[in-house]
């Protein structure tokens, strides 16, 4: 538990990194995001939870504009999200994204996966990029797998490579879209440990997850979403022990007691 307090103290010296203001989005008739206001401070770890279909993945994907929004504004480090094009690409390079289905490049080795963004987007020198890639792979514990292809790795290993790939860009903020939902139970922990470590090191993180344990131990703030709205935001202990809204209470009662 000591790890957690470190992460929480970091927030004291923070400013606003990601700001969503009255964001709305529809999928056809479905109003999937309804007037979302959310501010994430530098160094903050925000965990988004909620029942499936509540819009939490969509929310995560709007932040690097993998999903467009119908109205409202999203700013990252003071800059509003630009339209599709060069400028958006530059901004995306500063926002790390980790997907539920890993999405490692299937035709590239693990090492190449982690080098590609550095070389092609950051225009880094190849030797330097390889050095950095190898040290990141070591850091997430898959250094020995560098020359294998993604399909030869377990799900947990693939997801850790995906985290290394995102980190290689030196992102300002990391988005995690249900990073452990496609993993076998025994592999969930190895991924969560890497994420815990990142949180301790002060990375700004937005994590959509069903892992309540992670939310409790690593989050500075829990955002609870239901039916396209943010129903409740609170510090994790407060949220899990004493939720204010009925909807959150109902949700927690369903998942915490079997």
Q: Supply the minimum distance, in Å, between the C-beta of residue 64 and other proteins.
A: 6
Q: Bin 130: left if φ > 0, else alpha if -120 < ψ < 50, else beta.
A: alpha
Between residues 110 and 230, which has the closer beta carbon with respect to other proteins? Answer: 110
Residues that bind other proteins (CB under 8 A): 64, 66, 84, 86, 89-97, 99, 101, 103-107, 116-117, 120-121, 149, 151-152, 162, 165-166, 169
How many Cβ atoms are within 10 Å of 18's Cβ, its own excluded? 22
Between residues 119 and 252, which has the closer beta carbon with respect to other proteins? 119
Instruction: Show Cβ contacts of residue 194 under 8 Å, excluding neighbours closer than 6 positions.
Output: 140, 141, 160, 163
- Residue placing its CB nearer to other proteins in the complex, 108 or 229: 108
C-beta closer to other proteins: residue 194 or 234: 194
Separation CA 160–CA 114 (nearest Å): 11
CB of 162 to other proteins, least distance (A): 8
Q: Which is nearer to other proteins, 4 or 114 (CB)?
A: 114
CA distances for 134 relative to 28, 165, 210, 211, angstroms: 44, 11, 30, 29
Contacts of 232-238 spanning 24+ positions with Cβ under 8 A? 236/47
Alpha-carbon distance 25 to 96, whole Å?
22
Instruction: Compute the least distance from the CB of residue 185 to other proteins, in Å.
Output: 23
CB of 105 to other proteins, least distance (A): 6
Smallest separation, CB 159 to other proteins (Å)? 12
* Residues contacting 20, CB < 8 A, separation 6+: 36, 37, 38, 39, 59, 62, 63, 72, 73, 74
Q: CA-to-CA distance for 98 and 60, rounded, in angstroms?
A: 10
DSSP 87: H
In the complex with other proteins, the residue whose CB is nearer, 86 or 257, is 86
Please choose, from the candidates 40, 36, 63, the residue with its C-alpha nearest in 3D space to the C-alpha of residue 50.
36
């Amino acid at each position: 538990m000591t790890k957690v307090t470190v992460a929480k103290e970091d927030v004291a010296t923070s400013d606003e990194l990601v700001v969503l203001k009255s964001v709305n989005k529809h999928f056809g008739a479905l109003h999937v995001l309804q007037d979302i206001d959310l501010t994430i401070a530098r160094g903050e770890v925000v965990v988004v939870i909620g029942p499936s279909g509540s819009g939490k993945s969509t929310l995560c994907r709007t932040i690097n504009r993998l999903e467009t929004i119908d109205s409202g504004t999203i700013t990252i480090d003071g800059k509003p999200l630009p339209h599709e094009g060069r400028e958006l690409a530059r901004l995306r390079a500063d926002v790390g994204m980790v997907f539920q289905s890993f999405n490692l490049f299937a035709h590239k080795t693990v090492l190449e996966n982690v080098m590609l963004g550095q070389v092609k987007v950051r225009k880094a020198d190849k030797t330097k990029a390889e050095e950095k890639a190898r040290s990141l792979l070591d850091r997430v514990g898959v250094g020995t797998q560098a020359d294998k292809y993604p399909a030869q790795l377990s799900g947990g290993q693939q997801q850790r490579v995906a985290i290394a790939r995102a980190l290689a860009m030196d992102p300002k903020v990391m988005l995690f879209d249900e990073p452990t939902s496609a993993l076998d139970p025994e592999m969930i922990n190895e991924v969560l440990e890497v994420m815990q470590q990142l949180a301790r090191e002060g990375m700004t993180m937005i994590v959509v997850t069903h892992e309540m344990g992670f939310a409790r131990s690593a989050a500075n703030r829990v955002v609870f979403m239901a039916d396209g709205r943010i129903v409740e935001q609170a510090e994790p202990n407060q949220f899990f022990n004493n939720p204010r809204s009925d909807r959150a209470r109902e949700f927690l009662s369903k998942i915490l007691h079997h």
